[in-house]
């Protein structure tokens, strides 16, 4: 095994990765190993293997018969798969089957069905000639990686994130989280830097999928936004800023992701339809007709109706202080009526241009204690804050993550393991 120092000096370390193993949350140990080593090949101790990817038209009995199984054996294997693993059919283009033989021309001694990268079903024959099956759950090898990017002229956060190598699903989650703190329309400018620490799940040295977002940083205009994923003593996880304040707010400033603000909150503006000056009590987001409108927070629908100004609108009460209103909808979501309890992010209706409107958009209002407030600047309450004990643990954990970020920011090809 190479020493860490030697690896550090290699410029292109595409194949070298560092694992920062954190035995406890507070202790970090650095290990070095090479990507993709130790992966099993076809000629393992297990014997001779052949792998079949299930294609359309394949049935278990067809595939087994092709491998030399008798009709009686096929029936027995199908029975044991149904009773012990709840498998009755194969899925084309996703399931794989491995057939293991002691030698190339020997009869199959083991059948391994792989319905997902994290699950294998092994069917083996015992000494009495009976087929048995066993389900094996595969623990992902989870690697924490770090990606950093910069907003360029004319960029959206999505473009910049994709260029930084942040996968789509992770980027969407990051956007959702940042949307609690940032107004993407006004806070995002060329030259701003951002970074994300997230998990990738591997099996046998091969990346299978992405895991969770662990930390986010964004140099926003109104100050740096930092978020860390943290598990409280009661087992609940959330995102917290560097001081341990809950980062997930009870309401979203921007209910629709990536929608452009076309008109801001103001106490005086010239109305585009009426022509005279009057207050704009909300924010307008441009979006095409039919775009789903998610509820900005959990709450209960207190009004659903039509008026000449708002068109089709819905009002939701979130708690004793906060209400939100959504206007100009083309239609309401099915089953969302006065009295319906909605979750944060649940679709309540669809963008339209009903009422006094010049084109499809969402008009969104936040009402605090009966008064309209600016959704882009109002300080929103956090859903959960940490108690004193959790806060102390959080600060220790945050240092560990920051330490990891420090290593990875200098060595973007590395990963850490928590």
Binding site for Zn ion (CB under 5 A): 284, 363
3-state SS, 225-240, equals: EEEEEEECCCCCEEEE
**Residue nearer to Zn ion on the CB measure, 284 or 390:** 284
- Tokens of residue 238, six digits: 């959330």
Where does residue 116 fall: left (phi above 0), alpha (psi -120 to 50 degrees), or beta otherwise?
Answer: beta
**Residue nearer to Zn ion on the CB measure, 249 or 363:** 363
CB atoms within 10 A of CB 376: 17
**Least distance between Zn ion and beta carbon 323 (Å):** 16
**Least distance between Zn ion and beta carbon 32 (Å):** 57
- Tokens of residue 8, six digits: 């550090």
CA 358/CA 44 separation, integer angstroms = 68
**Least distance between Zn ion and beta carbon 353 (Å):** 12
DSSP category for residue 112: E
- In this chain, which residue has its C-beta nearest to Zn ion? 363
**Residue nearer to Zn ion on the CB measure, 89 or 307:** 307
**Least distance between Zn ion and beta carbon 282 (Å):** 5
Which residues share a beta bridge with 416?
Answer: 144
**Least distance between Zn ion and beta carbon 287 (Å):** 13
**Least distance between Zn ion and beta carbon 284 (Å):** 4
**Least distance between Zn ion and beta carbon 371 (Å):** 17
**Residue nearer to Zn ion on the CB measure, 152 or 274:** 274
**Residue nearer to Zn ion on the CB measure, 244 or 311:** 311
- Tokens of residue 62, six digits: 């067809």
- Long-range pairs of 151-159 with CB within 8 A, sequence gap ≥ 24: 151/188, 151/189, 151/190, 151/191, 151/192, 151/193, 151/194, 152/190, 153/190, 154/190, 155/190, 156/188, 156/258, 157/184, 157/188, 157/194, 158/258
**Residue nearer to Zn ion on the CB measure, 47 or 272:** 272
Buried b (16+ CB within 10 A) or exposed e, 261-283: bbbbbeeeeeeeeeeeeeebbbb
**Residue nearer to Zn ion on the CB measure, 173 or 284:** 284
């Amino acid at each position: 095994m190479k020493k860490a120092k030697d690896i550090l000096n290699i410029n292109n370390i595409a194949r070298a990765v560092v694992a920062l193993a954190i035995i406890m949350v507070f202790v970090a140990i650095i290990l070095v190993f090479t990507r993709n080593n130790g992966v099993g090949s076809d000629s393992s101790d297990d014997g001779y293997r052949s792998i079949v990817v299930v294609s359309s038209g394949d049935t278990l009995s067809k595939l087994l018969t092709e491998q030399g199984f008798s009709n009686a054996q096929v029936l027995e294997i199908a029975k044991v798969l149904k009773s012990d693993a709840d498998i009755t059919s194969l899925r084309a283009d996703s399931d794989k089957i491995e057939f293991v033989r002691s030698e190339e021309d020997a009869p199959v001694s083991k059948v391994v069905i792989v319905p997902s990268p994290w699950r294998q079903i092994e069917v083996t024959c015992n000494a009495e000639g009976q087929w048995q099956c066993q389900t094996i759950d595969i623990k992902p090898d989870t690697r924490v990686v770090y990606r950093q990017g910069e907003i360029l002229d004319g960029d959206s956060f999505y473009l910049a994130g994709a260029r930084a190598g942040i996968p789509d699903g992770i980027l969407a989650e990051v956007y959702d989280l940042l949307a609690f703190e940032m107004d993407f329309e006004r806070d995002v400018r060329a030259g701003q830097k951002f970074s994300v620490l997230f998990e990738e799940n591997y099996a046998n040295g091969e990346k299978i999928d992405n895991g969770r977002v662990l930390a986010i940083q964004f140099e926003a205009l109104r100050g740096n936004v930092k978020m860390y994923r943290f598990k409280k003593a009661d087992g609940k996880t959330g995102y917290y800023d560097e001081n341990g304040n809950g980062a997930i707010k009870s309401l979203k400033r921007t209910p629709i992701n990536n929608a452009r603000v076309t008109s801001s909150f103001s106490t005086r503006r010239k109305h585009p339809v009426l022509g005279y000056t009057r207050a704009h009590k909300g924010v307008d987001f441009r979006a095409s007709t039919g775009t789903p409108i998610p509820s900005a927070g959990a709450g209960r629908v207190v009004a659903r109706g039509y008026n000449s100004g708002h068109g089709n609108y819905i009002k939701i009460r979130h708690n004793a202080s906060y209400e939100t209103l959504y206007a100009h909808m083309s239609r309401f979501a099915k089953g969302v009526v006065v009295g319906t309890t909605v979750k944060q992010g649940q679709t309540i209706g669809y963008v339209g241009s009903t009422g006094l409107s010049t084109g499809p958009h969402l008009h969104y209002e936040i009402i605090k204690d009966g008064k309209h407030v600016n959704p882009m600047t109002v300080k929103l309450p956090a859903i959960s804050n940490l108690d004193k004990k959790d806060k102390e643990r959080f600060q220790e954990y945050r240092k560990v993550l920051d330490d990891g970020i420090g290593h990875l920011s200098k060595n973007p090809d590395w990963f850490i393991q928590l």
